[in-house]
Structures are given as structure tokens and as C-alpha cells.
Amino acid sequence: MRIYHPLALRRRAKDLVFATGVVLATLIIAFFRLQVLQSDDWVLRASSNRVRVLPVPAPRGTIYDRNGIIIADNVPGYSITVLPGPVDSVRATLTRMSEHIELSDLQIERILAQLRRFGREVVIDSDADFDVVSKIEERRAEFPGVYIDMRPRRRYNLGASGAHVTGYVGEITADELEMEMFPDSVYSPGVIVGKIGVERQYESLLQGRQGVRWVEFDARGRIVGDFAGVERTAPVEGKDLHLNLDSGLQQWIHRIFPDSMSGAVVALDPKDGGVLALYSAPGYDPNAFVGGIDTETWAGLNENDQKPLFNRSVLGLYAPASTWKLASAGIALDAGVVTPDEVMPDPCEGQWYWGNRFWGCWDRQGHGYNTLAEAIGNSCDVYFYQLGLRLGLQRLLDRSTDIGFSQQCGVDLPQESSGIFPEGPQFWQELYGYRPTEGEALNLAIGQGPNSQTPLKMAQFYVALARNGSAPAPVIAKGVASSEDWQLDLAPEHLESLQEGLRMVTAPGGTAHFGTALEHWEVIGKTGTGQNPLSVRGLAQDHAWFAGMAGPPGEPPEIVLVAIVEYGESGGQVAAPIVAKAADYYLRSKRGMPIDTIQTYREHILSGPVPQWYRDRFPRGFAIEVEEQTTLAAAVEGGS
């Protein structure tokens, strides 16, 4: 048999033609499926392949202070974003990136997980330095799938001094996305939102609405241009916010607050409850949070014993101590159990015997017979023990609860502590398991016992004293209606006597005179020495309080201030000068007066002779101390 017989070859050729036909027909069928039957799917896939919707972040609204000075605004910042891609190549890209920006292995894995989970771009640095950006742009080819764009970046002009008011912004978290206050229509992963402070409180106002742009990418993640098919939607800028805050005052308080000490200062406008200053020390730089805080700074803030992130002005709870005596006095006057001019039956002899025990006065020397104003001026405990007894525990609790000492002020901040004050006898029963005796009224009357208040709460109470007994809730934002929260029915002459008591504290001979006497203004207020867990055991000093108000002499006060310095020991020497100087700054700048000569009387006489204005304003005080400059300085140093 010839294997290459022409007929055999023809048959084999025919078979092979058939086989070839089958193979090619299979291919054509495959292409028919792809290009005709399934083409719609692939067309869709092609456009999603190369066109991506990128968010165009909206600039947040600007935050202004009461004088129109910018507290928080936006500056252009560079943001580095990575697009989803093959896991290994994205990881390699990010690893290369970590040579230029801070990016730990853990963060890289987190970014990869996010890319996988959401299947959309992830911002890896929303605040890149310009030189980092230019380095990356130079080596564009090494960073496929990475793009850099300009985004508005938040800037806090007050820095650390205003941190506790402004708060800060950060990228929205997965938990926040679930919250009702972040509706899906506005918020999506990657959006920058207020985290705390005013930024959080007024988030919906400041946010605006992010726009979108449709961008065409090539396979390496390079932006080729805006996609022609769809119009871009411009972002809508957030609305501006005007605050009652005085940014100058806020910064001034930051400057005069004792270095390295912790504490808080609150300044309110007695006219409307507007918050003029809300300061908590130590602060932190909110700008560090913009674009993601680096781990080192974050750890530093959290490990700091002084807790800089803790807003003491609205969250810190302190025993109000003697500053609370005004509340006892006000309630007693309101209830009619004392009159301004009467004296208590027992004089102060440094201690008082009641209920089988001695109750001490802070001054073992005793204060003798005191009127209400004198008792306030001397902070006489014995007087207030008797006042507390006259009021009776139940009435004291009821009235204090009525005026809100166990509640929040309702300030426009996302977080605020409620005051701690017993609303009734069950408080003791639940907490300690016994029925309170009338003796509790003695403790509560002098600001001790189970009573802790925030500095803001005390400031609100002093606003009531500066007005007619009513105090609106403090408000930070301008134009927000404040409810008239507190009502203390005080007759004008009662109010007068309380203020007179406060005046005695700062008058010559008063405990806070040296630190509060000012050239132009009258400061009146009350010192307080707050016991704390450490000071009770003799391990640290007491907290120093001063709560007061200031204005031109003989006129109604224009500013109410409360300062507390933790472990500051002396309200008169440490807290009072802060209040006086802050008031001086505010009242001067309000009138356009120079602010570079602010000094308390104490500072004056420590550095030079008794100034003429002091002789004029306080002839009595001058008479006391005129004899000898040295005695004077000694008195200053030794004062209570």
C-alpha cells in the first residue's frame, strides 16, 4: 500500500479541512458570544474599567469669632490617593511610598484591606508636604495607581489655645458612617468630618456637599483626563459659622495660664450667655489631627498624665468648694430664711459645735459676727453651717436641683458632663446605704459633700449673679437661641448683698485683693479651695478656684469668668489673677484700649512703687499698706 497515494492524501486533506473548520468555527462562536451576545456587559465593564468617579471634597465652612476674626479656615493641601489594583502591585507601590511618607507595614495592610472591602480609592495621606509630592511626581512611573490632587485642608489659627472649642476634623470612620447624623446621601468613606468640639457640633452646617468628577484612567492608574461623557458636579461649600468666642481673649488666657499646670477657664457674656472663652489646659494642636495624626503624637497625647485631650472646662468635675457658698446664700435668700443684714446667732470662733461634734472654719482665728456679705467676703464656714441648718437638707436639695446643679448646662458642644449633686435623700441611700442626717446640709452649704461641678456650670451660675438671678445656657455659636435656663428669684437688694459679698473678697483686706485689683475695672468674685483625692491625703495641693465678674466700676458686669487651676493651692493667688487679667484684656480690647500694660496690682508692687491709680481707686487699701513697701510685698507673698 502506498501511503502517499493521491486519493488517500485527498481524503486526509478533506478530514483535516473539516477539523480546521471545526476549530475555527469554535473560535468564531466564542467571539460571537463575546462581541454580540454579551457585548452589553463588556461595554459596561469597559467603561467602569477606565472611568472612575472621584470625589471632589467640599471646603468646610469657615469659623469666625465674634469680631469676624477667622478661627478655622481651609488652605490648599496635597492629598495622595491610591486606587484599587492588583494586591501585590499596590503593596509594592505602598512599600516604595513608605520611603517618602510615614507608612507602617500595619497601615499598608489596613489600606489594602480597605481597598478590598470598598473597592474604591483610599486616601493614604491627606496632608502631604510639598517636597514629598514633588518627589513622588518626579518618580511617577514607580507609583502606578497613585494620584495626587489638591484638596482643602483645615487650618486652626488658634492652635492649642482654641483646641477644646474648635475640636478637629478627621476622616469619617466605619462606625460613624452607621450613625444617623451622617446620612449616606452626604457621607461616604473618605469624607472629612468634625470629630469633636464645634467642628462636630455644627458638622452638618460646616460640611457642605462633596462634588464628583469623572476621570479617565489608564491601566497604570495615571489620570488621562476628565471623562467627556458626564458633567462634573461641583462641590457645594459648607456654610460659615460665627461664634460668640473672642479669639483674642482665648489666646490671651492661653498665654497667662500658668505653664505646666492643668485647669480650665470659662468666660461668659452675662448679657446673653455667649461663650467668650472656653479654655482647658493643657491643650493640644488640632492642626496635628488634620490629615491623620501620626502615631507618635497620638501616643504622646494619650500617655500624657495631664490628659491634654480632656476638655476640663465642660467635662472636668470638681468640688466647687467656697465658690458654691453663693449658691447656698442665694437659695437661702430666695427661701427667705436669712436677710442680708442679719447675723447668725453664733459668732465664728474658728469652729462650731453641733450634733456632738465640732465643725471647723477654714480660719481657726474665727470671724466673729458676720452679715451675709461679710460671711461671703470672709468665706466664713461657721456662718454657712448655720445657714445650711436653717435651710434644711430637703429644701437645699430641692432648690439646688431646681436650678440645675445635677444637670448639664446645655452648651452647644457634643460632650458635656452633668453636675453631680444629690437630687434627694435617696442619693445617700443608693450610694452609701444610709439616710442622710441634717449634718449633710452643713457640708453642702459650704460647697463640700457630694457636689461636683464643671467650670462651665459654675460660670453659668455666676452669670445668674451678674444678672437678675436668671442665667441662659451658655452658647458658643452666634445666633443660636439660648433658653433661659435658671431662675433664682432674687430681689434686687438680695442680689446687691451677694455682689457686695463678692466685692469684699476682692476689696483691700479680701483674700483675692492683690491678684484682682485693676487700674480700670472692678473685679468681684469668690475664691475656692477645692479638695481633691490627692490633697485630702496630703499628697498634693488643693485645686484653686476663682469665680467672678468684671466691668467698669459702678456699672453692671460685662464678663463673667471662672478659673480653676488643678493643685493650684490658692484661689486668691493663682486663679484670681487669671480671671482679673482675662477680664482686663476683654474689657480693654472691647473699648480699643492698649492691652500691653495689663498687670494686676500684685505684679505692680512686686516690680515697683505703688501706682497712682491704686492710690486713687483704693484709698483704704492704700492707707493700709502705704507704711512700708517691704511689708506690702511680704503681705502679698504671705496672703491667703
Q: Judged by CB under 8 A, does residue 49 bind another protein?
A: yes
Q: Judged by CB under 8 A, does residue 234 bind another protein?
A: no
In angstroms, give the least distance from the CB of 91 to another protein.
12
In angstroms, give the least distance from the CB of 52 to another protein.
12
Binding mask 363-382 for another protein (x = CB under 8 A): --------------------
Q: Judged by CB under 8 A, does residue 12 bind another protein?
A: yes
Nearer to another protein, 145 or 170 (CB): 145
Long-range CB contacts (< 8 A, 24+ apart) of 295-299? 295/102, 295/104
Nearer to another protein, 43 or 179 (CB): 43
- Identify the DSSP state of 36: I
Q: Judged by CB under 8 A, does residue 106 bind another protein?
A: no
Contact between 381 and 359 under an 8 Å Cβ cutoff? The reply is: yes
Q: Judged by CB under 8 A, does residue 139 bind another protein?
A: no
In angstroms, give the least distance from the CB of 18 to another protein.
10
Q: Judged by CB under 8 A, does residue 20 bind another protein?
A: yes
Size of the site for another protein (CB under 8 A): 47
The sign one gets for the Cα dihedral 207, 209, 213, 219 is: positive
> How many alpha carbons fall within 13 Å on the CB side of residue 133?
15
Task: Give the 3-state DSSP-derived string for 503-547, with helices as H, strands as E and coil as C.
Answer: HHHHCCCCCCHHHHCCCCCEEEEEEEEECCHHHHCCCCCCEEEEE
Query: Could you tell me which stretch among 11-19, 56-64, 378-386, 442-450 binds another protein (CB under 8 A)?
Result: 11-19
Contact positions with another protein (CB under 8 A) in 203-222: 216-220, 222
Q: Judged by CB under 8 A, does residue 38 bind another protein?
A: yes
The backbone torsions φ and ψ at residue 367, rounded to the nearest 5 degrees and listed phi first, read: -120, 0
Nearer to another protein, 141 or 481 (CB): 141
Query: Minimal CA–CA distance to 72: which of 363, 228, 287?
Result: 287
Q: Judged by CB under 8 A, does residue 435 bind another protein?
A: no
Q: Judged by CB under 8 A, does residue 230 bind another protein?
A: no
Q: Judged by CB under 8 A, does residue 87 bind another protein?
A: yes
In angstroms, give the least distance from the CB of 232 to another protein.
19
What are 484's three cell numbers?
Answer: 433661659
Contact between 453 and 352 under an 8 Å Cβ cutoff? The reply is: no
Distance of alpha carbon 555 from alpha carbon 343, whole angstroms: 28
Nearer to another protein, 31 or 353 (CB): 31
Contact between 294 and 175 under an 8 Å Cβ cutoff? The reply is: no
In angstroms, give the least distance from the CB of 48 to another protein.
9
Residue 345 CB partners (closer than 8 Å, separation 6+): 386
Distance of alpha carbon 373 from alpha carbon 380, whole angstroms: 10
Q: Judged by CB under 8 A, does residue 353 bind another protein?
A: no
Query: Could you tell me which stretch among 27-35, 243-251, 256-264, 312-320 binds another protein (CB under 8 A)?
Result: 27-35
Q: Judged by CB under 8 A, does residue 88 bind another protein?
A: yes
Which parts of 218-261 are beta strand (E)? 223-226, 241-242
Length of the chain: 640
Q: Judged by CB under 8 A, does residue 32 bind another protein?
A: yes
> Among 57, 84, 197, 439, which residue interacts with another protein (rule: CB under 8 A)?
84
Quick check: helix, strand or coil at residue 144? coil
Nearer to another protein, 29 or 634 (CB): 29
Q: Judged by CB under 8 A, does residue 252 bind another protein?
A: no
Q: Judged by CB under 8 A, does residue 43 bind another protein?
A: yes
Query: Could you tell me which stretch among 22-30, 280-288, 406-414, 473-481 binds another protein (CB under 8 A)?
Result: 22-30
Distance of alpha carbon 70 from alpha carbon 60, whole angstroms: 13
Contact between 249 and 237 under an 8 Å Cβ cutoff? The reply is: no
Query: Could you tell me which stretch among 82-90, 366-374, 415-423, 591-599 binds another protein (CB under 8 A)?
Result: 82-90
- How far apart, in Å, are the Cα atoms of 497 and each of 278, 343, 425? 29, 13, 31
Distance of alpha carbon 243 from alpha carbon 49, whole angstroms: 47
* Phi-psi domain of 336 (left: phi exceeds 0; alpha: psi -120 through 50; beta: other): left
Q: Judged by CB under 8 A, does residue 113 bind another protein?
A: no
Distance of alpha carbon 39 from alpha carbon 250, whole angstroms: 65
Q: Judged by CB under 8 A, does residue 41 bind another protein?
A: yes
Query: Could you tell me which stretch among 35-43, 174-182, 390-398, 459-467 binds another protein (CB under 8 A)?
Result: 35-43
Nearer to another protein, 18 or 358 (CB): 18
Nearer to another protein, 19 or 234 (CB): 19
Query: Minimal CA–CA distance to 545: which of 507, 500, 522, 515?
Result: 515
Query: Minimal CA–CA distance to 315: which of 457, 205, 416?
Result: 416
* Phi-psi domain of 208 (left: phi exceeds 0; alpha: psi -120 through 50; beta: other): left
Query: Could you tell me which stretch among 14-22, 94-102, 196-204, 251-259 binds another protein (CB under 8 A)?
Result: 14-22
Distance of alpha carbon 564 from alpha carbon 280, whole angstroms: 10
Nearer to another protein, 34 or 75 (CB): 34
The backbone torsions φ and ψ at residue 207, rounded to the nearest 5 degrees and listed phi first, read: -60, -50
In angstroms, give the least distance from the CB of 42 to another protein.
2
Q: Judged by CB under 8 A, does residue 593 bind another protein?
A: no
> Among 69, 85, 91, 159, which residue interacts with another protein (rule: CB under 8 A)?
85
Residue 640 CB partners (closer than 8 Å, separation 6+): 511, 570, 572
Q: Judged by CB under 8 A, does residue 117 bind another protein?
A: no
Distance of alpha carbon 568 from alpha carbon 422, whole angstroms: 27
> Among 36, 106, 228, 481, which residue interacts with another protein (rule: CB under 8 A)?
36
Nearer to another protein, 119 or 433 (CB): 119
Q: Judged by CB under 8 A, does residue 432 bind another protein?
A: no
Q: Judged by CB under 8 A, does residue 13 bind another protein?
A: yes
Q: Judged by CB under 8 A, does residue 394 bind another protein?
A: no
Nearer to another protein, 227 or 279 (CB): 227
Q: Judged by CB under 8 A, does residue 395 bind another protein?
A: no
- How far apart, in Å, are the Cα atoms of 568 and each of 61, 378, 544, 574, 615? 39, 20, 5, 6, 30
Distance of alpha carbon 589 from alpha carbon 580, whole angstroms: 14
- Judged by the rule CB under 8 A, the positions of this chain that interact with another protein are 1-4, 6, 8-10, 12-13, 16-17, 20-21, 23-24, 26-28, 30-32, 34-36, 38-39, 41-43, 45-46, 49-50, 84-89, 216-220, 222, 224
